[in-house]
Amino acid sequence: MKESYLIKPLLDENYPVAAYGKGIYLYDSEGKEYIDGSSGAVTAGIGHGVLEIAAVMKEQAEKVSFVYRSQFSNEPAEKLAVKLKSWAPGDVNWTFFVNSGSEATETALKVALQYWQEKGKPTKTKVLSRWMSYHGITLGALSMSGHVGRRERFTPLLEDFPTLNPPYCYRCPFNRTYPECALHCAKELETAIRRIGADHIAAFIAEPIIGASGAAVVPPDGYYETISEICKRNDILFIADEVMTGIGRCGTRFAIDHWNVTPDIMALGKGLGAGYAPIAATMISDRVMEPIFKGSKLIMSGHTYSANPQSAAVALTVLNYIERHNLIEQSRNVGAYLKDQLKVLQQKYPMIGDVRGRGMLTGVEFVSNIFNKLPFASEIHVSRTIIERAMKKGLIVYPASAGVDGLGGDAVIIAPPLVTKKEEADKIVRLFDQTVKEVQDELQVGGFF
């Protein structure tokens, strides 16, 4: 594009212009083909160019595209809330619609505070979170995010909510090993509660599997059961941020379903609209809704486009599509296969320190030394180079930070659409293999490895 006034992520970068998408493939305006190995930002769950969605968008636009939530309810949003109730665990039955993951987590925060106010405990205002986490870019969501780089500029405006160390076994912050560690990382929550005082804490928020801030870090078994037990015993709500991990991405409806735990509140986004419409949601349990129904009878939040019929019709079709095509099972099976194949690459390339994830959310972490897990120096931009080289070869992978506190440490997320077939996973692995080989050879020549 010759003339552009569009503010892009890196202002001096030339980005290819997307022209067309079909399934797991994207094509730019020059006709070059890319495999969308990251579903964009882990979003395009059902792949690109699904005609059924286009048809529903047209149909809904012809009926009614917009009504305002305090004037009308609408059929797609009502149906979507019923569908989400059937997907969500336990008594997580209620849905408040928003438009982005950040709004979903920020609403979760507000609902948690409101819950305690309605219960006559207004001093419960802090939200505990973990370092190495990302819950969104708005100030409330950023306050909860343990992402050093993204907080930096705005520190004076942020609350110090990140308190706990991450459950990051590859680089255990406590230098322990599972199971001898006895889940020290989860028990740290109890210590934090004792120090701060349960009377001041409204909720604990976590991504069930750490996404952008850790590249698909899966906690050890028993972690969430311990967290949930500590939260319950101390009267603290547990918020599961499923913005990246939900809607089948991790081989189950929600990532938290891998463990025997029901959150009090869940935040959804990304895969809900699957890239076809901006829609996200805060789901709330009966237990949390009860005092709100008895008390002020409204959630003190909302956006002009909340529960927009057009977006809701899209999301409802996405969920039906996932069910009809058994995409959760496919995500579980093809995702496990993809991870195994990436583990084969790990044997081949010493710069791959760790391969991890669940379902169709996998992470690859790079190290300069597999024995002491030393990260590469940040100045040599290893993950950025991997991403650029993969892109040249027609494979899109997603940047993630890794390493303690998200400082240093190179990693990428490979998370293709849930519709990815085994042969397509092979193609992704082949291109990634070539990419890692090229970069590792260059690092060796440069003496960095």
- Per CB under 6 A, residues contacting ligand PMP are 41, 100-102, 105, 134-137, 207, 211-212, 241, 243-244, 269
Q: Which is nearer to ligand PMP, 367 or 397 (CB)?
A: 397
In the complex with ligand PMP, which residue's Cβ is closer, 212 or 443?
212
* Closest approach of ligand PMP to the CB of residue 210, in Å: 8
CB of 174 closer than 8 Å to CB of 404? no
Q: C-beta of 335: minimal distance to ligand PMP in Å? A: 17
What's the min distance (Å) between Cβ of 55 and ligand PMP?
A: 25
Q: Which is nearer to ligand PMP, 243 or 367 (CB)?
A: 243
Closer Cβ to ligand PMP, 137 or 370, answer by number: 137
Give least dist CB 278 to ligand PMP, A. Answer: 8
What does the alpha-carbon distance between residue 130 and residue 164 come to, in Å, rounded to a whole number?
Answer: 4
Q: At closest approach, how far in Å is the CB of 214 from ligand PMP? A: 10
* Smallest distance from ligand PMP to CB 95, Å: 17
Do 35 and 431 meet the contact criterion of CB atoms below 8 Å apart?
yes
Quote the least distance from Cβ 270 to ligand PMP, whole Å. 6
Structure tokens at 299: 């959630």
Between 361 and 443, CB nearer to ligand PMP? 361
State the distance between the two ends of the chain, measured CA to CA, in whole angstroms: 39
The CB-of-241 to ligand PMP minimum distance in angstroms stands at 5
CB of 104 to ligand PMP, least distance (A): 7
Which amino acid type is present at position 238?
F
Q: Which is nearer to ligand PMP, 95 or 346 (CB)?
A: 95
Nearest to ligand PMP of 244, 334 (CB atom): 244
Q: In the complex with ligand PMP, which residue's Cβ is closer, 249 or 427?
A: 249
**Closer to ligand PMP by Cβ: residue 88 or 351:** 88
Task: Decide: residue 372, CB within 10 A, 0-12 exposed, 13-18 middle, 19+ buried.
Answer: exposed
Which one-letter amino acid corresponds to residue 146?
G
Q: Report the residue number whose CB is nearest to ligand PMP.
A: 101
